Amino acid sequence: MIDSNLHQTPLFSALDEEAASALKQSMVPQTIKKGQTLFQEGDPGDRLYVVTEGKIKLSHASGDGRESLLMVLGPGDMFGELSLFDPGPRTATASAVTDSKVLGLGNTDLNPWLAGRPEVSKALLKALAHRLRRTNETMSDLVFADVPGRVAKALLELGEKFGTKTSDGLYVHHDLTQEELAQLVGASRETVNKALADFATRGWVKLETRSVEILDVERLSKRAR
Ligand code: CMP
């Protein structure tokens, strides 16, 4: 039996239980402690990963050492496939936001699945297409949306991934520091904090350390548009 998060992963989504279990058998489990780096941007890579527990952040450093967060991943999310399909250096650094577990799949173990099960290739292509759409949207937001709009969108996205419903709204334990939230939004910590404080004053969110409760999803969604 593989767990439900894995079934949602593109790699497994197209496979029946038996095939999914066989694929999982060929994957190598790895534990990454909070703050540890799995791989660095620029490293050579021939292995993709699926998160099974915890949170992994993908970050990108600018020439002058500033960091931006591309995405925060949770159980069921896949990463590291770019340098597997297009051999070359890793395009981002992957490190653990919380104690995490991943399953790694090397090139040689993936190839028979790609050749023998077209549905696996199709699901992976779909995941890549989805990522490109999201990247285009992020680029467009960086150009056209203001910082509060981007903060609202980031909170909603984190909510979709890590949120749990409460009687008041959506509780999102994102585990990110203020600095990391700012890196995710692509703005300074001060500007992001100002936007968060404004949302809190309006009663749209309740702020806590490394978490937020979204009290008014509708207003926040409108602000994110
Ligand atoms: P790879 O380049 O092997 O290692 C870093 C991984 O980060 C990359 O594969 C993708 O899986 C992931 N990645 C790179 N850019 C983005 C992005 N813009 N959005 C989401 N994930 C990304």
One domain, residues 123 and 209: no
The atom number, within ligand 1, closest to the CA of 93 reads 5
Give the domain extent around 117. 4-142
pLDDT on residue 1: 60
99 and 51 in a common domain: yes
Indicate if 128 and 160 belong to the same structural domain: no
> Which ligand 1 atom is at minimum distance from the Cα of 79?
11
What is the maximum alpha-carbon separation in the chain? 56
pTM of the model: 0.92
Instruction: Report pLDDT for 86.
Output: 87
Residues 120 and 157 in one domain: no
Atom of ligand 1 lying closest to residue 91 CA: 2
**CA dihedral of 214, 225, 9, 54, whole degrees rounded to 10:** -40
In the chain, the number of structural domains is 2
Average confidence score pLDDT of the chain: 92
Q: Both 18 and 118 in a single domain?
A: yes
Q: Judge whether residue 72 has pLDDT over 90.
A: yes
C-beta separation of 212 from 155 below 8 A: yes
Last residue of a domain, one of 142, 177, 205: 142
Q: Are 97 and 172 in the same domain?
A: no
Shared domain check, 57 and 136: yes
CB-ligand 1 contact for 49 (6 Å cutoff) = no
- Among 142, 157, 173, identify where a domain stops: 142
| Mutational pocket test of ligand 1: of 43, 91, 135, 139, the residue with most ligand atoms within 8 Å of the beta carbon | 91
165 and 118 assigned to the same domain:
no
* Residue that terminates a domain, selected from 73, 107, 142: 142
* Nearest Cα residue to atom 1 of ligand 1: 80
pLDDT tens per residue across span 134-148: 999 999 999 998 999
| Same-domain check for residues 174 and 79 | no
CA of 134 to the centre of ligand 1 (A): 12
pLDDT (mean) for 88-100: 96
